[in-house]
Structure 1
Amino acid sequence: MKKWALPLSLAAGVLALSGCGNSEGNVIATSKAGDVTDMELYAEMKDKYGPQMEQALEELMQKKVLSDKYEVTDEELDEEVKTAKEQLGDQYEMFLAQYGLDEDGFKEFLKLELLREKAALADVEVTDDEVKEYYDAWQPEINVSHILVEDEAKAKEVKQKLADGGDFAALAKEYSTDPGSAENGGSLGWIDNAGRAQFVPEFTEALGTLKVNEVSEPIKSDYGYHIIKITEQKEKGSFEDLKDQMTEELKQSKVDATASQEKLDEEMKAADVKVEDEDFKDAFKADEAAPTEETLPTEEGTTEEEPAAEDDAAATEEAK
């Protein structure tokens, strides 16, 4: 999964709502008994959801500070949404509903993530030789399915059924003990170059040897026995076509969560951020003690595969 696969919270919802443009005194609900204004709602939320509102304040200020220095285009946001839809498939709408977001709200969340990423990568440098070496080792996206069973005897039985012409998806639904992927005919979805590393070594190694539509022999891991199939593989473009993408991916590989948080703290300090509301006087202090939580996909592969729908997360965990 990509880095957008982060735990979402009330703060994400507040971040999304920040684009609505409410100002002091706006009436947001009416009744014969009286009206409710945005400021009343704000006060109520601050009282009930203090820590989450503090997080929302941090995210809103980060967005303002980083937007003043870095730019995220509509095209970039559309591409991130496209990637999310490809990775989550039919679970995309469930994912949005799980966190109370519509697509515009999700884009607001993604915008902050991309701004953080641009800040973290701003000072990272890579050479042309490093990029070329990375390209040579880089592998294109593959669409992977697997059937996970508990013991070798069952694995051999399933393997024989496949050899006799059995349908992989149907056998996955019947035999696989990985509930998330079994429901989808064994599909784990599209796995990118970095995502291959999310699996246990035996699984990752098998991915590097299989051809499209070739079915593996039973692969033993701590989770049981996997029968793996690559159903599709994207073409690997030329170095010139992929150079910009390779450069960005290589830069990302050189930045960890600690370095990202340090760069974010640096940007906030340079912006001379001050908290005027005493209720939020401790905002921005917690970030100095610990880096932002990240996963996946993740990429990511996965960090925690969490914002992904629960079944998708379960599938990944079983395959690891």
Structure 2
Amino acid sequence: MKKKWLVAISGIVLTFGLAACAKTVATTSGGKITESEYYSSMKKTSSGKQVLQQMILNKVLEKEYGSKVSDKKVNEQYNTYKKQYGSSFDSVLAQNDMTKSSFKQEIRSNLLLKEAVKDNTKITNKQLKAQWKEYEPKVTVAHILVSKKSTAEDIINKLKEDGSYANFKKLAKKYSTDSSTKNDGGKLAAFDNTDTSLDSTFKKAALGLKQGSFTTEPVKTEY
């Protein structure tokens, strides 16, 4: 495949966090422990890292207890909620910016947590640190794909004059040769560092960007 030049700009960091829940997962002599309280014990960093820690915790839970949470259990609880909300179920999901798929994932995450509490097994700092090093949250980036390095450099100079995403979208529509994304501001599907479908050079450049920034040098990649 012929290599092409592209400019990438970072967008919104997409992470999946469990919603706070008041359901009791354990009862002790000192009182009840809710799911939200359990997660609160993990939240001792800035807001961005809080969400990431939730994701990391979920990955550890999946590894330890994934085999104990079947699709059948998830669907049973999903159908219970669906029946409870009746005809307003879809609108409730929409109000919470959730899809049916993401809601099922949240149900699964809560069931994994219950298995962990039931098993009374502590998730060690060593496990969390290992996941922290290996995992990076999903990101959404936009790109402008061109065939010549000189064109990419011209686009970068235009972005240096006006680095807003609004301007990036205009440039993508005008210059990008990627017909599938150019009319949507060059926006690509969210991905993380575990995605093997992307060119490694592109992925490295994209994950190295800060939100709202763009590559100041053209990236040569197979795309």
Normalising TM by the smaller chain, what interval?
Answer: 0.3 to 0.5
Q: Which has the larger radius of gyration?
A: 1
In the superposition, the TM-score normalised over structure 2's length comes to 0.43
Q: Which has the higher contact order (CA 8 A, sep 6+)?
A: 2
In the superposition, the TM-score normalised over structure 1's length comes to 0.32
